[in-house]
Amino acid sequence: MIKENENLERIAKEIMRPVGLSKNFILWMSFLGVILAASLVAYAIQLQNGLTVTGMRDYVSWGMYIANFVFFVATSLVGMLITSVLGLTGISWIKPIGRIAEIIAVAFAAVAGLVIVSDMGRPDRLINVFMYGRIQSPIIWDVTVVITYLTLSTLLYFLPLIPDLAIAKTRMDHCPVWLQKLYEILSVKWGHTTEQYKIMLKSVRILMVVIVPTAFAIHTVTSWLFASTLRVGWDSTIFGPYFLTGAFVAGSAAVVIAMYVFRSSYKLEKYITAFHFDKMGKLLVLTMLVYLYFNINEYLVPAYKMKAADAKHLHELFVGSHAFLFWSVQLCGLIIPIILLIFKPFRKPVPMLILSIVILIGAWFKRLIIVVPTMEEPFLPKQHVPHEFMVYTPTVIESMITIGTIVMAIMIISILSKLFPVIPIWEMAEEAENESEHKLNE
């Protein structure tokens, strides 16, 4: 229950200040729009000519698109980690960044669905998935859980937003009329009553619980797209947790980047403080250590035994054609950041931003290094086909489409963060209230 007082007034004013359409925002969106348009042209070319415009061929039949899909699903998981796992355990420092995590979850889960369409040979037959779905196929499980997770994340984003919308709708004279109307509709007649708070908090709590198994399912199932096959490098029993922990690394890095950007461009230094970066840095170290542990399991065990097929695969990764990418990803995306982030100075906002960008890029290439080398190593020899069939070289078109999907996710994040407050006003007001009461009691 929040009170209308100067605390709320101040917080609402500060948080609502960047909301609305500014010139810079429109400029930013047009910039993204141009890139998106270019990638749409690339997609049109792909639709016209077929997947022959990509670097994929009969042996490497999955490439960048699938790696990108895994990356998107992975990054979206952070919503569950921060709001649910940390939220349910009563960790309070996540309050100002919980919504940022949910925005990332919604944006990346939504675009993940589109990414997988970009990989389809016949996107016009998408409807077949719903008409003739085979429940035995991991793709059907994936479609189901991605849709479910997107819905749950959206609700988990929307429900705690309702009180803010109600608070904000009286304080948005600087915003266009349509936005005010949108607030009016979305605030579902919120009147700050105790009963409404009770219902909202209860619903959020239910969602926080339900989203945990769903999020585990979404990424475990995504890992099963690989682990359910007999292929070398994929035929692994730890793929579920391996992917899941990797997802937390990527998602946390994405949240740190978003935190930094919102903090500096929306002038929210008061709410997203160095303290939060420090905490996120520690969280990153934790997730990365767990991920490193799974990496060691995933590579060391087969490398010890050197079964014929595994040996060839590992040779390519460790010293062969993929060695540069493999070691770059492991070192820059995992080992070096772990070492650096152990030291406090590196957990300051700017170093955190730089490291998170490196980690996130590493996370993207990590997915590529999981998908492509395995496809290049089938059990039987590759013969009587041209060189382009044997090795995978991504083309400009597919890179463009991939960039387009990333731009799309950034656009969704930008829009959500620009139209609605990125920091929960009512929770901040509540916190401030508690603090002042605390002071009075002392």
Partner 1 sequence: MLKRYFAAITILATLSQAKAEEWVVPADKAKKVSPFAFTPESKKAGEALYKANCMSCHGMPGKNNAIPLVPPPPDLAGTVAQSLEDGEFFYKITEGRGPMPSFKNSLSANDIWNIISYLRSFNDKYVQEVARKITREGITEGNIQILFKLIKENKQLQAEVMNTTAEGKKPIEGAAVKLFAKRYFGNLPIDEERETDASGMVAFDFPKDLPGDSTGMVHLSAKLVDEDAFGEVKSDTVFAIGAPTCKPALNEQRAMWNVVQKAPLWILFTYTIGVLTIWGIIFYILLQIRKIYILGKNKEILGE
Partner 2 sequence: MSELINTTPTRDAGEGKQPVDRRDFLKKAGIVSAAGAVGAAAVYSGWNFQQKKPNHNMVTVRTPDNKLIEVPRDSIKTFKPILSELQKRGREGLKGKRWVMVIDLAKCRNARKCIQGCQTAHHLRPNQYHINTLTMQATENTPAYFMPKPCQHCDNPPCVSVCPVNATFKRQDGIVLIDNERCIGCRFCMAACPYSARIFNWEEPLQDNGYQEKIVAYEKALAAGDEATIDKLKYEVEYNVELNVPQKKGTVSKCLFSADRLREGKLPYCVSSCPNGVYWYGDQNEDSVTNGTTKETTRLTTLLEEKGAFQLMPELGTKPRVYYLPPKDRQFKFEDDRKPEGEA
Near partner 2 in 118-157, by CB under 8 A = 119-140, 143-144, 147-148, 150-151
From the CB of residue 65, how many other CB atoms can be counted at a distance below 10 Å?
A: 23
Give the nearest distance from C-beta 79 to partner 2 in angstroms: 17
How far is the C-alpha of 256 from the C-alpha of 363, rounded, in Å? 14
Does the protein bind partner 1 through residue 124 (CB under 8 A)?
Answer: no
Residues of this chain, 223-252, that bind partner 2 according to CB under 8 A: 225-226, 228-231
Size of the site for partner 2 (CB under 8 A): 61
Contact window for partner 2 (CB under 8 A) among 158-166, 181-189, 214-222, 386-394: 386-394
Sign of CA dihedral 277, 282, 283, 285: positive
Q: Which of partner 2, partner 1, none sits in contact with 357, Cβ below 5 to 8 A by type?
A: none
Alpha-carbon span 181 to 139, nearest angstrom: 40
CA distance 174 to 17: 9
Please report how close the Cβ of residue 126 comes to partner 2 at its closest, in angstroms: 7
CA angle (423, 168, 183) in 5-degree steps: 105
Least separation in angstroms between CB 37 and partner 2: 21
Q: Applying CB under 8 A, does 106 fall inside the site for partner 2?
A: no
Q: Which tokens belong to 156?
A: 């988990």
- Taking the C-alpha atoms of residue 190 and residue 205, their distance in angstroms, rounded to an integer, is 19
- Rounded to the nearest whole angstrom, what is the least distance from the CB of residue 201 to partner 2 in the complex? 24
Candidates 374, 385, 371, 313; CA nearest to 57 is 385
Answer yes or no whether residue 182 interacts with partner 1 by CB under 8 A.
Answer: no
Within positions 151 to 170, which residues make up the interface with partner 1, using CB under 8 A?
Answer: 151-152, 155, 159, 162
How many residues touch partner 1 (CB under 8 A)? 27
- DSSP at 170: T
Cα–Cα distance measured from residue 220 to residue 223, given in angstroms and rounded to the nearest whole number: 5
Q: Backbone phi, then psi, for 275, in 5-degree steps?
A: -60, -45
H helix runs in 228-376, sequence order: 239-265, 274-305, 308-318, 323-330, 336-341, 349-375
193 is an interface residue for partner 1 by CB under 8 A: yes
The SS3 assignment for 121 reads: coil
Instruction: State which of residues 21, 38, 210, 358 lies at the interface with partner 1 (CB under 8 A).
Output: 210
Stretch that binds partner 1, among 182-190, 275-283, 311-319, 404-412 (CB under 8 A): 182-190
| Residues forming the site for partner 2 (CB under 8 A) | 49-52, 54, 56-59, 61-62, 119-140, 143-144, 147-148, 150-151, 225-226, 228-231, 375-387, 389-391
> Which parts of this chain interact with partner 1 (CB under 8 A)?
133-136, 141, 144, 148, 151-152, 155, 159, 162, 188-191, 193, 195-196, 199-200, 202-203, 206-207, 210, 214
